[in-house]
Structure 1
Amino acid sequence: MNVDENIFFYLAIAVSLVSFGVAYYFYHWVKSQKSNNERIAEIGSYIRKGSNTFLKKEYIVLSQFAGVIAVLILLFLPEPIWNGKATDNIGMAVCYLLGTVFSAFAGKVGIEVATIANMKAAEAAKEGIKPSFLVGFRGGSVMGMSVVGTSLLGVTLVYALTHDSSMVLGFSFGASSLALFAKAGGGIFTKTADISADLVGKVELSIPEDDPRNPAVIADNVGDNVGDVAGMGADLFDSNVAAMTAALVIAMSLDKGKGNTNIAMIFCYAALGLLASVIGVLSARMGKKGDPTKALNNSTYITTVIFAGLTAVATWAFDMEWRIWGATAIGLAVGVIIGFASDYFTNDNKKPVRYVAKASNMGPAFTIISGVCYGFLSVLPSMIGIAISAVLAYNICDPIGDGYAMFGISMAAMGMLSIVGMIISNDAYGPIVDNARGLAEMGDLGDEVLDITDQLDSAGNTVKAITKGFAIGAAGLTIISLLGAFMSEVNVAAVEKGLEKITGFDIMNPMVFFGILIGTATPAVFSAMLMLGVDRNAQRMVAEIHRQFKEIPGLKEGKKGVTPEYDKCIEIATTGALRELIPAGLVSIVLTLAVGFVGGVYAIGGFLTGNIASGLLLALFMSNSGGLWDNAKKYVESGHEGGKGSDTHKAAVVGDTVGDPFKDTAGPSLNTQVTVVSLVASIMATLFLSFHIFG
């Protein structure tokens, strides 16, 4: 490389600031759109207040948890404070807290814009599908630009100030641990309300989805924001930070005594990825009679091409290693392939969704059986894609030198997440237009507006499945590279202690196999605990809805002036989510620590391997089957297979309620779970090497 490496640090900071500028512009553009319907403003204020109230209570709980973890880090990491340098422990604790703060900020930004954009998008639909789409997309783009700008700026500053892998890992662990609990808590809240509203409203009483008579309807709309916006923002913030962290830890090992060529390349590619996303969101458009799904997907593919071109030019101009560019390009291409696979299994224009809708004619059992089968089938192409990208990236970069093969995998993960700014923009669009659809119905804006918002909502569901495919695929490659980062951290400690370096994990080693078995079971236990939380909470809310319909005179009939006690359902969802969010995440962390202190670093290697394979399979299965059931229900509601109110519709709604905690609670939370346990293993590597019972 023939330029000063520091130029790429400045580039990363500059592009982050540009993304903040674009976010600020879109935020004010969305706020400036017309909004004069008093009923929509009233309901929108309920949603905004409920979302912010939940977020405040959740962050109070999580700040207490983060405080405890920070104290433990201060005492024990990277070495027990009485053995090592106190400044290292203090620095790592501060970086951990910084990661949690940045992650929380990502969620707060999402709530702030989404609870304004939903009202604006609903009223914009009166002017047609094009202006409503643009409000929803630009509202989502505020979050996309803010989250990725914050993650890039955070990692850049932590590295620039410390040049220490432990500090970068501490920052990433802070982001991941908060994201894990924020996604879990938001997912439990949103699916509690969604399931309860659908089962009582659609199945029992055959009333519309967002009928204001339903006591759970406001909680359902609040849930879209706290789960699909705030939780998802923290989740993808974590994914982006973790991908950069894994690459940085390996690059720091490779660059020792040889300059910072690989580190500079990471910041260069990350900055260009965000710049490509900035260009993509600024150029996103849809025709007056266009297809919103096509518009969203085209934006993603255009951004992909821009990133590939920019990084190729940078690689040539600064004489970087073309093999590493190739690994990055492979990750990017496989991300698109995973997106296509997810689209096939979740798009209502494709065979699987229509087959499940048709199967619903025979009752909910067939809805569930067919959806489960297609969900499992959908796993194979994505898993093959992740596997092939890892193998190709490994082999392309292996000839560069020792350690570069694993670095290639980490750069493939960065490639897959390079356009994460566009991915988040598309993903955040979904809950905004979903809320807009509910507001349009509750504000009585008419059937034409409802048709427009239904089209936008369906596009959001389809694209959300694609973006989740990107996120899950990137999580897979990231945690494979985090396994490499774990080995790097272990070997650094081994050299310091005069021990032999580890070169791999032999499955015939009983400690490795012990770890694999427990690691494979952990994602299943984690998922079950989250979904049981939804189950318990939803049962309490259904009982409350029944009570209100029974005890409030005129509510069921919709008499004028009679309104449900919306706040009771919001309180049930909030209390239950806060009660359930800590245990599942804590079990994953505790199991990691237990395996490490029992079997040492070899057991942890097996544990991470099993956790990766099982976590990816379950995440893909649940994300795709849930999206498939959701769009099968919407396909029936659009007039097919008997339409709304038919027995087929009721069966499809049952399938959707099963899929809800799959796609919006457990599935996306698994992305973060596999990342968290990998980071815990990396930051605890020295302790696992020094203190273990067997191995």
Structure 2
Amino acid sequence: MGLLSEGLTQLLIPLAALVGLAFALLQWFLVSRVKVSGSYGEGNGYKDKLIGEAEEGVDSLEVTIKVAEIQNAISIGATSFLFTQYRYLSIFVGVFSAIIFLFLGSVKGFSTKSEPCTYNTGNTCKPALANALFTTIAFLLGALTSVLSGFFGMKIATYANARTTLEARRGVGKAFITAFRSGAVMGFLLAANGLLVLYITINLFKLYYGDDWEGLYESITGYGLGGSSMALFGRVGGGIYTKAADVGADLVGKVERNIPEDDPRNPAVIADNVGDNVGDIAGMGSDLFGSYAESSCAALFVASISSFGISHDYTAMSYPLIISSMGIVVCLITTLFATDLFEIKKVNEIEPSLKRQLLISTVLMTAGIAAVTFVALPSEFTLFQFGTNKAVKNWYLFFCVAIGLWAGLVIGYTTEYHTSNAYSPVQDVADSCRTGAATNVIFGLALGYKSVIIPVFAIAFAIYVSFSLAAMYGIAVAALGMLSTISTGLAIDAYGPISDNAGGIAEMAGMSHEIRERTDALDAAGNTTAAIGKGFAIGSAALVSLALFGAYVSRAGIETVDVLTPKVFIGLLVGAMLPYWFSAMTMKSVGSAALKMVEEVRRQFNTIPGLMEGTAKPDYATCVKISTDASLKEMIPPGALVMLTPLIAGTFFGVETLAGILAGSLVSGVQIAISASNTGGAWDNAKKYIEAGASEHAKSLGPKGSDPHKAAVIGDTIGDPLKDTSGPSLNILIKLMAVESLVFAPFFAAHGGVLFKWL
């Protein structure tokens, strides 16, 4: 037994979650106190007291009124899209809940009799029908929590974007604090809400399961499946929405018409800003919640079949939740360094401040991991894995979690090096634009491929060490270590789209050049940190999916996965192909939607008199409708591919072939995801590097409308679906297939492989 008692554990976990929620509300309150002196548009539907009197000599009251109008349009568009998307997803959730119940209930013929436990031999476990019911309930809870995570994140972002714009009048430091605090609201809400719901779910289920911990934590895996399935559709749907609008706005507005980004004359500009919130905020929030839920479920399930699972050591079993609790406390302290202890005074201090958040949280969390490991775990325990018993000391687990944490930092900094225009890789891509779009594309692709090397070595090293020390449980807690500072990671990630929207609002409202320079600086730093966030998400997905793979192999009763077996090898080939198939579907979806958007934007420029002169208003609503309709329609085929593959493979080809598919998709998907994400990020920042006039070649070859800038815009446009749709969605693919396989493992083990049996 560890030093921490069960009663104290039961107190500390929900307390940490409540502290996180309280801190999120405090940050929201501070953001809401942005200086105002009245409300605008009473009787016109504006409830937020948003508009303050403009500072003398900076912007007029008329301009600030425009800020409120634009913010209102973005908020309404984002809310409307998410409600429509969630109506579609509610049908999916209902259907898939029935599938879970029917498949798992049929394992023992819907028996209501207790069965001998698989691992805790000699004891009886609850009937299969009960596991089917509780897994279904956990799935519904995970789906609901994921939806709420994305929705609240979107509402916070649309609440904060205009406030960030207005605060930019008082200086870049004030705007930075507003944007970062808004991101922190999302980060702490998601982490605390996810922890609290999972804790409550476990304790409620425990009332029925009692000492059957094996069945309890097996049913909890449905929580991860629910969270990840919503994340898939949120990422794909939101990604198609935002990139269709972004590509349409850039190709016609910037390339053909040579007008600035976010120019109010561009018909697609509102849809573009709405897309930042539904894709990069709501989708990303659901994605990282899914990673957290899956890594927790994987660790809990593997722990339930260890010695402290069988001996009912509640504190040791709750070690994954205690790590997350400590992460909330550490991230709370870390946030103060950005918002209270250090003040941003210059533009060039923004990006170092954000990167400092990663380092501070990692260092503090390392100490926190050491503390919770030695008080929560017994000095030595036994893991039962793959038919063998492995003796593990508690300090082994410290190294497993810590190596996952530091591997995440390495991946983050490597991503930053390859996507920030402060370093040579992106500068080389920008330099290549002087000879046209073709060389820009070649350099960008090469950068993306090269950027895979160090992250893969970091992931491989973390896997080797953690597996050597604590088998699959070590890998599961290493994934939790990488995600332990999720509150800070989400705050940094959400900061980017909020700043991007703030810049767009400043441009559309016609605010001064000085204000736009400040918001552009915030946005540029946000682009890099968003790429870092994607790197974290992909790296953690690799560890999470491997941990889930190990749990699946154990639950399916597979003793060894032999790649020389034909059943496994064909699974490897098919699994390695799936990320390419999935990427092709998502990219074509973006292309099809963007095609309609380009045609509509061209039509408006050609047919609306006075649009280019600024005397007529564009039809924003039609562009919003194009993105909405396309994303809702096009998200279904990629989602169906991911959700149906494990069901079909396990049912018709058996558990071994499905194991090969999971391994193949993991190995292939991680490489493609990192490469796509970093290529797109590099092209984006190469464009901004040229626009800022930092490139000597750009200066010598002329203004923004010159060929180097157009080449950079084309590269950025090509990279948009890579970095914001296909790349981020791939990490959900590999996680979701693994957790779905784990949930359905009892059915596949009992009734799977019907085609091979028939042959």
TM over 0.5: same fold?
Answer: yes
Q: Distance in 1 between matches of 2:111 and 2:529?
A: 49
One-letter code aligned to 1:293: E
CA contact 2:655–2:748 (8 Å) conserved in 1: yes
Match of 1:611? 665
For the pair 1:386 / 2:464, whether they are aligned, the reply is no
- 1:319 is displaced (CA, Å) by 5.7
CA distance in 2, matches of 1:355, 1:345: 11
| 2:77 corresponds to which of 28, 50, 63 | 50
Superposed CA offset, 1:465-499 (max 9, x none): 112111111110111100111022213xxxxxxxx
Question: Any idea what SS the aligned residue of 1:504 has?
Answer: coil
Q: Distance in 1 between matches of 2:710 and 2:646?
A: 42
Separation in 1, partners of 2:407, 2:539: 8
Q: Which residue of 1 aligns with 2:176?
A: 133
Deviates more, 1:406-415 or 1:289-298: 289-298
Query: For 2:451, what is the secondary structure of its paired residue?
Result: helix
**After superposition, where does 1:246-265 map in structure 2 within 5 Å?**
246-254=298-306, 255-260=308-313, 262-265=316-319
How far is the alpha carbon of 1:81 from its aligned partner? 7.8
How much has 1:395 moved relative to structure 2?
1.4
User: Which of 325, 336, 342 does residue 398 from structure 2 map onto?
Assistant: 325
Distance 1:15 1:78, change over 3 A: farther
Matched, 1:507 2:559: no
Q: 1:667 aligns with which of 727, 734, 739?
A: 727
| Counterparts of 2:562 and 2:447, CA distance in 1 | 34
* Partner residue in 1 for 2:418: 345
Find the aligned partners of 1:375 and 1:262 in 2 and give their Cα distance.
Answer: 41
Q: Can you list the C-alpha shifts for 1:216-267, whole angstroms capped at 9, x where unaligned? A: 0000000000000000010011011111111111001113422335412222
Shift of 1:549: 1.1
- 1:428-455 Cα offsets, whole Å, 9 max, x none, are 0000000000111111221111111111
- Report what 1:68 is aligned to: 95
Q: Deviations over 1:585-615 (max 9, x none)?
A: 1112222222212321111111110010111
Alpha-carbon deviation of 1:504? 2.3
Give the stretch that moved more between structures: 590-599 or 235-244: 590-599
Q: Secondary structure at the match of 1:11?
A: helix
Give the aligned residue type for 2:517: D
* Structure 1 equivalent of residue 633 of structure 2: 579
Contact 2:31–2:160 at 8 Å: present in 1 too? yes
2:268 aligned residue: 216
Q: Cα deviations across residues 268-295 of structure 1 (Å, max 9, x unaligned)?
A: 1111012111221233244212511111
CA RMSD of aligned residues (A): 1.4
Q: Aligned to 1:554, which of 607, 610, 613? A: 610
C-alpha distance in structure 2 between counterparts of 1:310 and 1:593, whole Å = 40
Structure 1 distance, partners of 2:451, 2:422, is 16
1:567 corresponds to: 621
Q: Identify the match of residue 745 of structure 2 among 681, 685, 691.
A: 685
Say whether the 8 Å CA contact 1:360–1:366 is kept in structure 2. Answer: yes
* Structure 1 position 312 matched with structure 2 position 397: no
For residues 75-110 of structure 1, the C-alpha deviation after alignment (integer angstroms, 9 at most, x for no partner) is 222545843344332222221111111100001111
Is the alpha carbon distance of 1:78 and 1:157 closer, same or farther for their aligned partners in structure 2, counting shifts above 3 Å? farther
Name the CA distance, whole Å, in 2 between partners of 1:78 and 1:307: 42
Partner of 2:115: none
* 2:316–2:376 Cα contact (<8 Å) kept: no
**SS of equivalent residue, structure 1 residue 557:** coil
What's the CA shift for 1:189?
Answer: 0.1
Q: 1:245 to 1:16 in 2, by over 3 A?
A: same
TM-score (norm 2): 0.87
Question: Which amino acid is the alignment partner of residue 259 of structure 1?
Answer: H
SS in 1 for 2:613: coil
Q: Does the aligned pair in 1 maintain the 2:369–2:402 contact within 8 Å?
A: no
1:339–1:466: 8 Å Cα contact kept in structure 2?
A: yes
1:644 matched to 2:704? The reply is yes
Deviation at 1:339, TM superposition (A): 0.9
Superposed CA offset, 1:537-569 (max 9, x none): 00001111111111211112212xx11110000
- 8 Å CA contact 2:316–2:377 kept in 1: the answer is no
Does the 8 Å CA contact 1:360/1:652 hold for their aligned counterparts? yes
When structure 1 is superposed on structure 2, of 61-70 and 283-292 the one drifting more is 283-292
Paired residue type of 1:555: L
2:349 maps to what in 1?
291
Provide the residue aligned with 2:387 in structure 1.
none
1:181 maps to a residue whose letter is F
Q: Say whether residues 1:92 and 2:131 are aligned partners.
A: no
Deviation at 1:112, TM superposition (A): 1.1
Question: Paired residue for 2:476?
Answer: 410
Match of 1:39, as an amino acid? K
Structure-2 residue corresponding to 1:301: 359
- 8 Å contact kept, 1:78–1:166: no
Unaligned runs of 5+ in 1: 398-404, 492-501
C-alpha separation in 2, matches of 1:6 and 1:668:
40
Larger-Rg structure: 2
CA offset at residue 659 of structure 1? 0.6
Q: Identity of counterpart residues, as a percentage?
A: 40
Range 156-165 or range 96-105, more displaced? 156-165
2:17 matched residue in structure 1: 16
- Aligned amino acid, residue 687 of structure 2: K
In structure 1, how many angstroms separate the alpha carbons of the residues matched to 2:168 and 2:105?
54
2: distance between equivalents of 1:66 and 1:531? 25
How many angstroms apart in 2 are the aligned matches of 1:436 and 1:243?
A: 34
Instruction: Tell me, yes or no, if the aligned pair for 2:161 and 2:502 is still in contact at 8 Å.
Output: yes
- Partner of residue 461, structure 1: 527
Residue deviations 1:300-349 (CA, integer Å, cap 9, x gap): 21111111112212333456511101110000111111111101100101
Partners of 2:107 and 2:746 within 8 A in 1: no
Matched, 1:544 2:587: no
**Paired AA for residue 558 in structure 1:** G
Between 185-194 and 550-559, the greater mean CA deviation after superposition: 550-559
TM score, norm. by length of structure 1: 0.95
For residues 544 and 345 of structure 2, what CA distance do their matches in structure 1 show? 40
Instruction: Select between 44-53 and 597-606 the one with higher mean Cα deviation.
Output: 597-606
8 A contact 1:505–1:602 mirrored in 2: yes
| CA displacement at 1:6 relative to structure 2 | 4.5
CA distance in 1, matches of 2:7, 2:135: 24
SS at match of 1:630: helix
Q: Is 1:532–2:588 an aligned residue pair? A: yes
Cα distance in 1, alignment partners of residues 730 and 600 from structure 2: 30
Structure 1 residue aligned with 2:713: 653
For residues 460-479 of structure 1, the aligned pairs below 5 Å read 460-479=526-545
1:634 aligns to 2:634 (yes or no): no
Q: Secondary structure at the match of 1:291?
A: helix
Residues in 2 aligned to 1:170 and 1:178: alpha-carbon distance in whole angstroms = 12
1:119-141 CA distance string (max 9 Å, x none): 01011111111000000000111
Q: Which runs of 5+ in 2 are unaligned?
A: 36-49, 52-63, 113-128, 207-215, 379-393
Equivalent residue of 1:555, what SS? coil
The match for 2:675 is: 621
User: Which position in structure 1 is the counterpart of 2:485?
Assistant: 419
Q: How does 1:434-453 map to 2 (within 5 A)?
A: 434-453=500-519
- What CA deviation, in whole Å up to 9, does each residue of 1:326-381 have, x standing for no partner? 11000011111111110110010111111111101111111111100010000011
| Residues 172 and 242, structure 1, Cα contact 8 Å, conserved in 2 | yes
